[in-house]
Amino acid sequence: MKATAKAHTNIALIKYWGKRDQALILPTNNSLSLTLDGFYTTTTVDFHDALTQDVFMLNGQAVTGEAYQRVTKFLDLIRNLSGKTDLYANIGSINEVPTAAGFASSASGFAALAAAGAKAIGLNLSDPELSRLTRQGSGSACRSIYGGFAEWEMGEKEDGTDSYAVPIAPREYWDIRVAAVVLSSTMKKVSSRAGMKRTVETSPFYSGWIDSIPNDLNGIKVGIQEKDFEKVGAISEANCLKMHATTLGANPPFTYWHDTTLRVMHTVQEMRANGIPAYFTIDAGPNVKVLYLPEDEARVEETLRNIAGVTDVRLSKAGPGITYL
């Protein structure tokens, strides 16, 4: 009863930022992402009669505490689905994602765990079923079931059965690149989970954010359909700025941006003024991701590497969905 799965992280172009149900992880709006080939997690789940509890090793180290509880609670969902509630597992994960610095390691992490766990215990899930399961580990992870562009449909039902991601376009459809600009390896002060909750509960800007989503979603889907890079980039950048604006209105207010974050944002806008179509997006951390086209790769990379305070630039293409090894 053993399976290994590999999942890639994804970057949201239309952000998920808020829950209507904390326990089931049901979002307040649809989101849309691009799966990346550069950052991934490989996880093996091995269910064993002889075990009396789950054992979770991340990059070769035993994990305890809150991170362990999140994993074992998630495996409970898989055990309950399969009816095999008395089985425990050895879980081994290798993470090729810099953790907790604005890169969604939980996205590739829970997608790989869900896929490997479900397969190991003998569940035969469709992609939407796997996405729905994955969502309950970490919201953004439900989009990593698919390669290329994916949309997480928020759904309407209280039980969450209609809240899962669907594919929008496979990775081969369009060669869009993403540069992950690394500024700082320090852990962020407000987790995305806590940050979105505080924003929903206290930010007067939150209703404006929600009202603006349908237009952004429609626009970006047209942009993807027409392979209109300027349109996709401009909507992504604007959507990111709106998401981050909601945090400034929260109580207490907060921001994920550092001084170098702003420097990178300005540099990207300057590149555009100089004729290079490049657009930024930022998640719940200080790092910046820059969207660009293959023909501009060398100039974009060089420009980003020369910004004071930038420690690394990692280039990525669109990535695949779940694979089993």
What are the residues binding ligand 2P0 (CB under 6 A)? 12, 15-17, 25, 31, 104, 106, 138-140, 192-193, 283-284
CB-nearer residue toward ligand 2P0: 82 or 184: 184
Q: Which of 103, 8, 87 is nearest to 55 (CA)?
A: 87
The span from the CA of 7 to the CA of 5, in Å, is 7
Residue nearest to ligand 2P0 (CB): 139
Q: Which of 209, 213, 124, 114 is nearest to 164 (CA)?
A: 114
CB-nearer residue toward ligand 2P0: 8 or 47: 8
Least distance (Å) from ligand 2P0 to the CB of residue 27?
Answer: 8
CB-nearer residue toward ligand 2P0: 25 or 121: 25
CB-nearer residue toward ligand 2P0: 13 or 91: 13
Least distance (Å) from ligand 2P0 to the CB of residue 5?
Answer: 18
90: exposed, middle or buried (Cβ count in 10 Å: 0-12, 13-18, 19+)? middle
Q: Are 174 and 224 in contact (CB under 8 A)?
A: yes
The span from the CA of 33 to the CA of 92, in Å, is 27
How far lies 115's CA from each of 59, 132, 305, in Å? 18, 11, 36
Least distance (Å) from ligand 2P0 to the CB of residue 1?
Answer: 27
CB-nearer residue toward ligand 2P0: 118 or 284: 284
CB-nearer residue toward ligand 2P0: 131 or 140: 140
The span from the CA of 8 to the CA of 141, in Å, is 9
Reduce the secondary structure of 200-264 to three states and give it as a string: HHHCCCHHHHHHHHHHHHHHHHHHHHCCCHHHHHHHHHHHHHHHHHHHHCCCCCCCCCCHHHHHH
Least distance (Å) from ligand 2P0 to the CB of residue 148?
Answer: 16
CB-nearer residue toward ligand 2P0: 77 or 87: 77
Least distance (Å) from ligand 2P0 to the CB of residue 72?
Answer: 16
Least distance (Å) from ligand 2P0 to the CB of residue 138?
Answer: 3
Least distance (Å) from ligand 2P0 to the CB of residue 322?
Answer: 17
CB-nearer residue toward ligand 2P0: 84 or 193: 193
CB-nearer residue toward ligand 2P0: 44 or 134: 134
Q: Which of 274, 287, 322 is nearest to 107 (CA)?
A: 322
Phi, psi of 147 (to 5 degrees): -80, 170
Least distance (Å) from ligand 2P0 to the CB of residue 74?
Answer: 11
Q: Are 318 and 175 in contact (CB under 8 A)?
A: yes
Residue 276: how many other CB atoms lie within 10 Å: 16
Least distance (Å) from ligand 2P0 to the CB of residue 114?
Answer: 13
